[in-house]
Chain A
Amino acid sequence: MVEVRLEKVTKTFGKVIAVDNASLTFEDKKLTTVVGPSGCGKTTLLRMVAGLETPTQGSVYIGDKLVNEVPPWDRNVAMVFQSYALYPHMSVFNNIAFPLKARKRPREEIKKRVTDTAELLEVSELLDRKPRELSGGQMQRIALGRAIVRQPDVFLMDEPLSNLDAKLRVYMRAEIKKLQRLLGVTTIYVTHDQAEAMTIGDTLVVMNDGKICCIGHPDSVYSKPKDTFVATFIGSPAMNLLEGNLESDKGLFVTESLKYKLPNSMTRVTKEKGASKLILGIRPEDIIVENFKANGFVKTEVYMIEQLGRELLLSLKIGQHIIKAIAPTDIKLEIGGVAWMKFDETKLHVFDGKTDGLIV
């Protein structure tokens, strides 16, 4: 059993707090994605697991072993770098063989394992080339090959796909997932692409500003975001947030230019929590838009229309608010015209205006 556990880990660089008191467990044989905005400390977290950085405080465990003081070469973890970090002076074969050579494995074993790995990754015909003679996708595979060849306890991947074009990225995403299932190795996968994080991960970890914001199954993180940061960060286009107050006697959510009647259950829970400043959240795809007036619909002005291909992304204006909504492409609307919208009440989120935390 190889799980990776961080206990109250903090890492500072001078005054910068890169990772702030992070405690979490990366489960055995699972693929955990770590996602967050640029500079939030994802790479630093990963590098501490690899042993490339030593935590300023706290402990890192791999399996049951405290590894704070163990250097990377004694950890048996493998890492795939964003830049691939292939050794430019070695052939592909030697690149993949490098971790085995470093461990002084016998020559026949090296040859066999490298060949097997190359076959698994379908790169057998590249073995004699130098990295500079490879395409981005091929380099990516070689970097993966170098990671899997020695059957490590843990895979660490730092934005491994971010240098690939969109199509290849989607393809490699599936490949990595498949490979990880096949090998059953605990994997920590860092990315700043939330869609990638959602699709590939068994578990999703969201980081912000050095802190772990939330951990959970991708679906539950998506449907029950812990706070407004997670709500807006996960999902694209981002969730709409409206700030306002609750007029609790009528159950009305009031902003400067909008009054909205909350469902009774929500009003009740909110009242119990005693919050009066609220943030109302609704995802664009949970808004129903029509070009005629219907019951319970609110009148808005069409501010912008963007073609997303399968659907339209509308920017609707109510007073000062711009609300993004998704609508089918066949709807007839024009910029400057009128549209009618309605929130899907079951998909509404209410956040506390002071703490940003989710209420319901």
Chain B
Amino acid sequence: MVSLSYRQKRLLSQTIMYAVAAIIMIYCLFPIAWIFITSIKPPGAEFHIPIEYIPSKVSLDNYIEIFVEHKFHYYLLNSLVVASATTILVLAIGSLSAYAIARLRFKFRISSLLTILVVGMMPSIVMILPIFLIIRELGLMNTWLGLIITHAVFSLPITVWLLASYFAELPFDLEDAAKIDGYTPSSIYRKIIMPLSVPGLFSAGILAFIASWGEFMFALTLTHTIQARTALVLITTLPGAYHLKWGMINAGVILTLIPIIVIVLVFQKWVMRGLTAGAVKY
């Protein structure tokens, strides 16, 4: 054993830390980078052997093809509409319930919260068939609305949980003062709680948006055509006779990823807060 001086030891551990940081970056970003590289090769070039790590020719043909041949923009639009509407819907009804649970006194507070949370534990697979039938009965098959409602069901529990824990931390004095001034719970909710909760709503909204954008099982089952099918369902159901057009698929993957990665990076703080709310407290 060579014994190192303290300075050397620190230098060593610093070096190790930076090496680890580099490994983490590669680990997290490499798959996406590789998909991107594949997507900008000319169509067909993705199958060339030896594999080109740096494309000798860059082309956007895969992107053009997915837009022209498959009208990918319509699918992106479907994803966008469904995810946005789901977000608004869950925030609207979720925040009302969260407010009731966090701030109002009534007998079934805890049991209502638990009931809502149990829904969050249910696997999609136990609900897929009945929901499929209900949506069909309601004539909402292959529509935005059918998907919006279903996605809302799955995002509601986490939204209520997040918002309730957010509301619970606002000072009660504000509300008591407003009550004394003659405000009813519904006006307190609108005039005091809502404006103060913008960050909380934001966190919850981003999580709901990401969840809806990425949801697959219901989107696959409840939509069939360009009318309502979401972008990621199209990508995974792209037809391929003998082999799949991987260049184009990867172009679609990148296009589907861009919005959420941008959201996550720009609103990182809120995403983190949303993910960890309620879980971290000392």
Contacts and interface: CB of A to CB of B under 8 A. Distances in A.
Q: Do chains A and B touch in the complex (CB under 8 A)?
A: yes
A70 B9 CA distance: 11
Contacts of B5: 69
A70 B7 CA distance: 9
Contacts of A328: none
A69 B8 CA distance: 10
Contacts of B6: 69-71, 74
**Chain A CB within 10 A, most for which of B5, B6, B7:** B6
Nearest to A74: B6
Nearest to A69: B6
Contacts, number: 8
Interface string B1-42: 000011100100000000000000000000000000000000
Nearest to A70: B6
Contact of B7 (A69, A74, A88): A69
Contacts of A74: 6
SS of A interface (majority): loop
Contacts of B10: 69
Contacts of B7: 69
A50 to B, nearest CB: 15
Interface in A35-69: 69
Nearest to A67: B6
Nearest to B6: A69
Interface string A75-118: 00000000000001000000000000000000000000000000
A349 B7 CA distance: 50
A77 to B, nearest CB: 16
Interface residues of B, number: 5
B166 to A, nearest CB: 25
Nearest to B8: A69
A88 to B, nearest CB: 8
B168 to A, nearest CB: 22
Contacts of A88: 282
A71 B5 CA distance: 11
A270 B7 CA distance: 53
A62 to B, nearest CB: 14
A74 B9 CA distance: 13
A101 to B, nearest CB: 23
Nearest to A88: B282
Nearest to B10: A69
A342 B154 CA distance: 82
Contacts of A70: 6
A159 B10 CA distance: 30
A69 B6 CA distance: 6
Nearest to B282: A88
A46 B10 CA distance: 22
A70 B282 CA distance: 32
A74 B6 CA distance: 10
A132 to B, nearest CB: 11
Interface in B262-282: 282
A69 B10 CA distance: 9
B212 to A, nearest CB: 39
Contacts of A69: 5-7, 10
A77 B228 CA distance: 68
B9 to A, nearest CB: 8
B230 to A, nearest CB: 46
A355 to B, nearest CB: 42
Contacts of A71: 6
A88 B6 CA distance: 31
A88 B282 CA distance: 10
B193 to A, nearest CB: 32
A287 to B, nearest CB: 46
Interface string A330-353: 000000000000000000000000
Interface string A251-269: 0000000000000000000
Interface string B198-228: 0000000000000000000000000000000
A71 B10 CA distance: 10
A241 B251 CA distance: 77
Interface centre among A69, A70, A71, A88 (most CB of B within 10 A): A69
A89 to B, nearest CB: 11
Interface in B237-280: none
Given A69-B5, A70-B6, A88-B282, 5 more contacts: A69-B6, A69-B7, A69-B10, A71-B6, A74-B6
8 contacts: A69-B5, A69-B6, A69-B7, A69-B10, A70-B6, A71-B6, A74-B6, A88-B282
- The 5 A-B pairs at the shortest CB distance, nearest first, are namely A69-B6, A69-B7, A70-B6, A71-B6, A69-B5
